[in-house]
Structure 1
């Protein structure tokens, strides 16, 4: 596979960028070239990860030297999104701000067009609600959901995104939240939807501003937390356990002032933006000062406005990835990265959500029994300190989390990303280049792909396979269940899995024989000038046809 040029365009919030960094790292390790198109407040911060920066000057950012975290934190505080109001009230505030978001999106699209011309990428990774320029480019693009999956995968069987409501109901609370949310998003949704339709794209899903990719959509959420026990993985979506980056250039050791102190070691962070609510940080730090334990604190962008007591050490930010393995408990705002990274390290959590999908993460951790949800603004001294003692002394939970951590690290799902992207580019790129040059492209393929290739101008010749009883089931689901049934998805080592696959070769040989029959019929029907084959073994029908094959 040739070296791919991969263009990332994430929302410039710290959590979104960090998730994209994790994706870029595995691609760079596989030999690909990664570029970020991003606000100039990120100048120089991506270079340590060997990521090329194309910086955008944004009209709403008057101070390029101010961190994006501080900009967004102060913005959220000014709008009342950081504060003691309910998840629904905060959702309404955010929705009322969407008009300015649309204006920003249009400004970003202007930058995107220039960046695509400059980079000429093979694939685009988008962590934004949408981008008309990306969709018009004809370049394969992947939608990244770096938030709780409820934000992008809407399903009547799951609670509303941003609500923090239990998956067990009551349904009446879901309905109330949805009614108010839908009333407040309708006008903005109509604007976004009209723009999409006017540009020749499908209608947006009702009351959702997110435009899914026809190529591929991905999210990072641990299997044990995900909603797969309630709804299936939708077609054209792929789940990873996390989007967890490596920060080898930021080594961390427990500070000397904490080494000789008694008690468990606890990490406390309300994220890159939550720390801008200094009054609340002071309140919580004051409570934690009365604990017998030690604390590493990520203070946030206004770190110089408050001090820490003797049982704490902290800085404006800390290398979280390297801190998590050292601690016994994490107190977090519930950002998606922190949740998935903490889970990967096998640590219990106190989740104190502040806004958005953090409420959903907090509720999911709580109802699955991997931690406790508390109110960041209303929890009492007794409630917080008692919860800390309960979790640091829960040996059963500790062992359970260690086993989950071992599974996540053994499977290391993110290492599959380069192959997924390579296959995506190879599959669509070859056909699209040929079509663009005026040639006609046809796929001979299983009928589970019905209708999915037509948007690319590719003709479909569909094969009914005897081993596929349900043509409406996606191939991803079919193969996923197949691998699970055979024991190939699981904690076994690479050698054990290779042996299982080899023992299953008889089935694959039979499948290959049937494919050969379908191919022979298709060649007679189509009479192609050239045949492109991506199969494990050569096809006798192609070799006998006399047609040029590759």
Structure 2
């Protein structure tokens, strides 16, 4: 049993990073440490539901809890018209506004973080975000960066730029994307560098919003899909966790009104993507005509659905790892939880990305032979039917997924991460 230490986790205010950190925190507590969570008030209750302390950090203008919880949901829903655009055409709308909002979260957090850290006195801090919080770097204790988004968040000249969703081979496209990204991001990045200077930190190169931790940087991408880099990440400070799936509640597959002997699908676009009700209704109508059963996660919009096909069941929430383990194929948005959980359980996926690194994960699923990339709006019923048939029936792809699953489950990502954090604490 290790000496009991306090490990503070500070994930981005989104369910993907949050639940990845839960998996690691569960493994840390199994080693005898105390895990606590720093969190935006809009995520109130997410971590306490798993038995962890929550310490709230305002990352925007303080507002009532219900309004805070709706902030990012409203932000995403306001951008639904942009979801069908190519990633490069999202740079001067969604991506620009998103980075501007992210920079503001770092500024707001700096007002309270020093006092909060002094109160909880962590021995180690784990940050899963795309931006630096100076107070954490300056606290005087080891800090670890968790990269739960696509692996190309850490740049390399031989791999597609982050958020681009481009093929490995599209080198000219990479250059176009990087050039436009730098043009769009320059005023936001200049503002962030001014903030870093006020905090006594050195400015970052254009396009960089976070630095690597000198202690450890944990990536969730597994070896079977990771990129071939010109400059391999040094193993002393970078470690691939091979996925990091949390323990969640068990789930019993319900009885359907039809097709109970047919393959089972799970469809989810995440807590924020569920706002695209039009797309989900179109998928429900299409799958209603096919020889499958399907569980749909529709988030808080359950009341907007009626007259469901007999082979479809909807809910506002599912314990996703428990569900994916039991289905035959998945349709998702490319969030890193969904992406790595499908690989972990060996399930083929159709990825319909809408924003951020979902584009990268969709392309990676296809180029690595673990699934298919489909546009969110420019698809026909016949294309969906063909891709689903391949998901269920492609023996070569399913054999590849089986090998990937066996590899990932043997590596035990959460326990691997906990052992690394334990080692940092012992040597601190």
Name the TM-score, length of structure 2 as normaliser: 0.93
Q: CA deviation at 1:204?
A: 1.8
Q: Does structure 2 retain, via aligned residues, the 8 Å contact 1:241–1:414? A: no
Check if 1:30 corresponds to 2:31: yes
- Paired with 2:414 and 2:101, the residues of 1 have a C-alpha distance of 34
Query: What residue number does 1:140 align with?
Result: 142
Higher CA-based Rg: 1
Could you list the runs of 5+ residues in structure 2 that have no partner in the other structure?
none
Query: What residue number does 1:189 align with?
Result: 189
User: How do 1:508-547 and structure 2 match up within 5 A?
Assistant: none
Q: CA deviation at 1:34?
A: 0.8
Q: CA deviation at 1:58?
A: 5.5
Query: What residue number does 1:385 align with?
Result: 385
The SS at the match of 1:176 is: helix
Query: What residue number does 1:99 align with?
Result: 100
Check if 1:287 corresponds to 2:286: yes
- Paired with 1:377 and 1:60, the residues of 2 have a C-alpha distance of 35
Query: What residue number does 2:73 align with?
Result: 73
- Paired with 1:81 and 1:226, the residues of 2 have a C-alpha distance of 31
Q: Does structure 1 retain, via aligned residues, the 8 Å contact 2:159–2:229? A: no
- Paired with 2:73 and 2:82, the residues of 1 have a C-alpha distance of 8
Q: Does structure 2 retain, via aligned residues, the 8 Å contact 1:158–1:231? A: no
Q: CA deviation at 1:230?
A: 5.7
Q: Does structure 1 retain, via aligned residues, the 8 Å contact 2:24–2:415? A: no
Q: What CA deviation, in whole Å up to 9, does each residue of 1:243-269 have, x standing for no partner?
A: 21111xx22111122686232111111
Check if 1:115 corresponds to 2:86: no
Q: Does structure 2 retain, via aligned residues, the 8 Å contact 1:141–1:215? A: yes
User: How do 1:324-335 and structure 2 match up within 5 A?
Assistant: 324-335=324-335
The SS at the match of 1:302 is: helix
Q: What CA deviation, in whole Å up to 9, does each residue of 1:183-241 have, x standing for no partner?
A: 01112212222333454434424312123222221110111011146651246211111
- Paired with 1:59 and 1:405, the residues of 2 have a C-alpha distance of 40
Query: What residue number does 1:201 align with?
Result: 201
Q: Does structure 1 retain, via aligned residues, the 8 Å contact 2:349–2:371? A: yes
Query: What residue number does 2:222 align with?
Result: 222
Q: Does structure 2 retain, via aligned residues, the 8 Å contact 1:91–1:162? A: no
Q: From the superposition, tell whether residues 411 and 98 of structure 1 become closer, same or farther in structure 2 (CA, over 3 Å).
A: closer
- Paired with 2:302 and 2:230, the residues of 1 have a C-alpha distance of 41
Q: From the superposition, tell whether residues 228 and 197 of structure 1 become closer, same or farther in structure 2 (CA, over 3 Å).
A: farther
- Paired with 2:230 and 2:211, the residues of 1 have a C-alpha distance of 23
The SS at the match of 2:283 is: helix
Check if 1:149 corresponds to 2:151: yes
Query: What residue number does 1:502 align with?
Result: none
- Paired with 1:67 and 1:193, the residues of 2 have a C-alpha distance of 27
- Paired with 1:81 and 1:213, the residues of 2 have a C-alpha distance of 37
Query: What residue number does 1:20 align with?
Result: 21
Q: CA deviation at 1:328?
A: 0.6
- Paired with 1:189 and 1:41, the residues of 2 have a C-alpha distance of 26
Could you list the runs of 5+ residues in structure 1 that have no partner in the other structure?
430-550
- Paired with 1:322 and 1:24, the residues of 2 have a C-alpha distance of 19
Q: From the superposition, tell whether residues 34 and 311 of structure 1 become closer, same or farther in structure 2 (CA, over 3 Å).
A: same
- Paired with 1:155 and 1:407, the residues of 2 have a C-alpha distance of 26
- Paired with 2:398 and 2:348, the residues of 1 have a C-alpha distance of 7
User: How do 1:474-493 and structure 2 match up within 5 A?
Assistant: none
Q: CA deviation at 1:72?
A: 2.0
Name the TM-score, length of structure 1 as normaliser: 0.73
Q: 2:132 aligns with which of 130, 133, 138?
A: 130
Query: What residue number does 1:514 align with?
Result: none
- Paired with 1:259 and 1:241, the residues of 2 have a C-alpha distance of 37
Q: From the superposition, tell whether residues 204 and 85 of structure 1 become closer, same or farther in structure 2 (CA, over 3 Å).
A: same
Check if 1:344 corresponds to 2:338: no
Larger CA deviation: 13-22 vs 229-238: 229-238
Query: What residue number does 2:253 align with?
Result: 254
Give the paired residue count. 423
Q: Does structure 2 retain, via aligned residues, the 8 Å contact 1:164–1:361? A: yes
Larger CA deviation: 204-213 vs 289-298: 204-213
Check if 1:5 corresponds to 2:6: yes
Q: CA deviation at 1:90?
A: 1.7
- Paired with 1:335 and 1:81, the residues of 2 have a C-alpha distance of 19
User: How do 1:290-301 and structure 2 match up within 5 A?
Assistant: 290-301=289-300
Q: Does structure 1 retain, via aligned residues, the 8 Å contact 2:244–2:414? A: yes
The SS at the match of 2:218 is: strand
Q: What CA deviation, in whole Å up to 9, does each residue of 1:294-331 have, x standing for no partner?
A: 10111122222123321111201111110011111111
Q: Does structure 1 retain, via aligned residues, the 8 Å contact 2:265–2:292? A: yes
Per chain length, whose mean CA-contact separation is higher, i.e. which structure has more relative contact order (CA < 8 Å, sep 6+)?
2
Query: What residue number does 2:376 align with?
Result: 376
- Paired with 1:269 and 1:118, the residues of 2 have a C-alpha distance of 38
